[in-house]
Amino acid sequence: MNLTRILTMHLIGALLSAGAMAQQPVYLDASQPIEKRVEDALSRMTLEEKVKLTTAQSKFSSHGVPRLGIPELWMSDGPHGVRAEIEWNSWAYAGWTNDSCTAFPALTCLAASFNPALSYAYGKAIGAEARYRRKDVLLGPGVNIYRTPVNGRNFEYMGEDPLVVARLVVPYIKGVQENGVAACVKHFALNNQEEWRGHINVHVSDRALYEIYLPAFKAAVEEAKVWSVMGAYNQFRGEHCCHNDLLLNKILKHDWKFDGVVITDWGGAHDTRQAALNGLDIEMGSYTNGLTSEAEFGYDDYFLAKPFLKLLNEGELPVSVIDDKARRILRLIFRTAMMPGRPWGRFVNEEHSDVARRVAEEGIVLLKNDNRLLPVVPGRYRRIAVIGENASRSLTVGGGSSELKVKYEVSPLEGIRAMYGASAVVYSKGYSSGPSAYGRVIEPGEDQALLRAEAVKVAAGADIVFFIGGLNKNHHQDCEGGDRLTYNLPFDQDVLIAELLKVNKKVIVVLASGNAVAMPWVGEVPAIVQSWYLGSESGNALANVLSGRVNPSGKLPFTFPVRLEDNAAHYFGTPSYPGDSIDQYYKEDILVGYR
């Protein structure tokens, strides 16, 4: 082969390479501005491909554009940890062996810390775990305002004060999104109860809407630049919140200039035309449940799937409607799944455990401490009684969509034994609540009177008693899908506490809950600690506070009324809470909680 031919071949190869580079799609070039990439990708897509972007392809993923090499979006429940893997087409767990996460404290605990720097560390750590698990969207945090102590999902939120919630949600979101994972702030808006959540029509004044219920969402959008927002199940002024013109078009996208994606809560869409026109971008969870309706309804039957495409093809809806949705979804994909230099993430490590423990320690609230009964310094008492099911029960399971499969969980009993010595601690269950089950109550099979009698006997022989009770994440307690049925502690805990006090006056009550509870024994118990749901490091954090190694510096992020009627939402009766099953009126207006 002569030199001329070699040079010619090199020249041809160089020209071909240059031509190939010139034809390289802009959307694949990570060095280009994101808006240029979005427009280039949009210009190459068919109408069918654009519509596909707007609906689910599985329980927790939405479509990409395979022809163009644009990946799908993968989502996971949060906001306290990355939920275990769910099957493609059902709500059953997939049975993976490598999806056990770090459980971070519930957001009520984070809110009680009043610490924005800690909130950022929380978001950074949970975002890293989501990224390691190859998630693009973490479905959290929740910022719905604590309006009533019986709301089943209050433990997932950050309390009753809009300023506190706003100041803490911003660093959380920034921490998550630094991992190339979108936070999805929820539930927009006015989802303040679980009773009739799928249809209750909320009526609230403009002043209360803007002063109480929207500021945290606004801060998430304008300050944290959150990449996605989840709509709420309920209605507001006659329109479902997942396709509500006032909330999504006028306030979120016009007034606040939100450039991200609105995602339904699972099954939150109800109408194709409203979903198309009133601000919804991605529809998740409708129809298909992988069980009874799979054969009849599939993902292509979603409101924003074939019915949406039909209206576009027939000219009933302008193409600009789908173009706006596709732009937003592409923007989210380029920010996450196609983010240049995206971190790899980290999963269940010492650093994340340290964050979880610090949040738990700073969130624990000392409600009462007569005669300086606390701290209980190791060595002061020879025999310590630990009473109560919550001392040994896992509090990371249950609760609905926020339940977790954890790598490890240090129980309060384990933490107390490690702090004071196993030989000094004697445990008695005291009461039983039954196993956790979503949407139903399974009655405990144990004899409550016998458990109570055994606990009283143990307390009588002890120098001091830690009663560790409260709520758990069973149905009708702190759990999605149903509100609490009573303000009092369940499973006769009030009776048990009264009996303990008869035989031992040194009783420290530790309440695990995400809600306020009635305390008929408050005048007799010398010390009360609010410990929330503390996650993987629960026992270590609690023991550090009880022993005095850590100062209990948490502050209540919501009000504990003496009686339920003292809560403003309940003061006005049924029309205010829970409504008449059709309409509900926030009669307390701006007078929420301490106001």
**Per residue, what are the HEC states of 467-501?**
EEEECCCCCCCCCCCCCCCCCCCCCCHHHHHHHHH
| Residue 362 maps to a domain | yes
Q: What's the domain count of the chain?
A: 1
Q: Answer yes or no: is pLDDT of 384 > 90.
A: yes
pLDDT per position as a tens digit, 337-375: 999 999 999 999 999 999 999 999 999 999 999 999 999
Q: Rounded distance, CA 253 to CA 257, Å? A: 5
Q: Which two tokens stand for residue 466?
A: 């830690």
pLDDT per position as a tens digit, 580-589: 999 999 999 9
pLDDT at residue 21 in the model: 44
Work out the average pLDDT over 559-573: 97
> SS in 3 state form for 40-99?
HHHHCCCHHHHHHCCEEEECCEECCEHHHCECCEEEEECCCCCCCCECCCCCCECCCCCC
Q: Which two tokens stand for residue 228?
A: 């996605």
| Residue 461 maps to a domain | yes
CATH number of the domain that 560 lies in?
3.40.50.1700
Beta bridge partners of 386: 427, 466
Sheet order of strands, 239-240 included: 239-240, 235-236, 201-203, 583-585
CA distances from 278 to 197, 217, 221, 286 (A): 20, 18, 18, 17
Work out the average pLDDT over 490-496: 97
Measured in degrees and rounded to the nearest 5, phi and psi for residue 368 equal -160, 145
Beta bridge partners of 529: 366, 510
pLDDT at residue 11 in the model: 42
Nearest partner of 73 among 367, 283, 242, 275, judged by Cα = 283
Q: Rounded distance, CA 213 to CA 482, Å? A: 21
| Residue 528 maps to a domain | yes
| Residue 566 maps to a domain | yes
pLDDT at residue 298 in the model: 87
pLDDT at residue 290 in the model: 54
Average pLDDT score, the chain:
94
Q: Answer yes or no: is pLDDT of 9 > 80.
A: no
pLDDT per position as a tens digit, 192-220: 999 999 999 999 999 999 999 999 999 99
pLDDT at residue 16 in the model: 38
Work out the average pLDDT over 421-449: 94
pLDDT at residue 19 in the model: 43
Q: Answer yes or no: is pLDDT of 14 > 60.
A: no
DSSP 248-315: IIIIIIIIS---SEEE--TT----HHHHHHTT--BB-SSS--SSSSTTT--GGGSTTSHHHHHHHHTT
pLDDT per position as a tens digit, 219-253: 999 999 999 999 999 999 999 999 999 999 999 99
Q: Answer yes or no: is pLDDT of 293 > 90.
A: no
pLDDT per position as a tens digit, 143-184: 999 999 999 999 999 999 999 999 999 999 999 999 999 999
pLDDT at residue 5 in the model: 47
pLDDT at residue 4 in the model: 47
| Residue 553 maps to a domain | yes
pLDDT at residue 368 in the model: 98
Q: Say if CB 171 and CB 111 are below 8 A apart.
A: no
Confidence of residue 292 (pLDDT cuts 50, 70, 90): low
| Residue 49 maps to a domain | no
Work out the average pLDDT over 85-114: 95
| Residue 148 maps to a domain | no
Which helix or strand (DSSP H or E) is residue 435 part of? none
Work out the average pLDDT over 93-106: 97
Residue 16 or 337, more confident = 337
Which helix or strand (DSSP H or E) is residue 511 part of? strand 507-512
Residue 297 or 121, more confident = 121
| Residue 459 maps to a domain | yes
pLDDT over 90 percentage in the chain = 92
Active site residues: 265
Work out the average pLDDT over 64-82: 97
Instruction: Give me the domain span that covers residue 399.
Output: 350-571
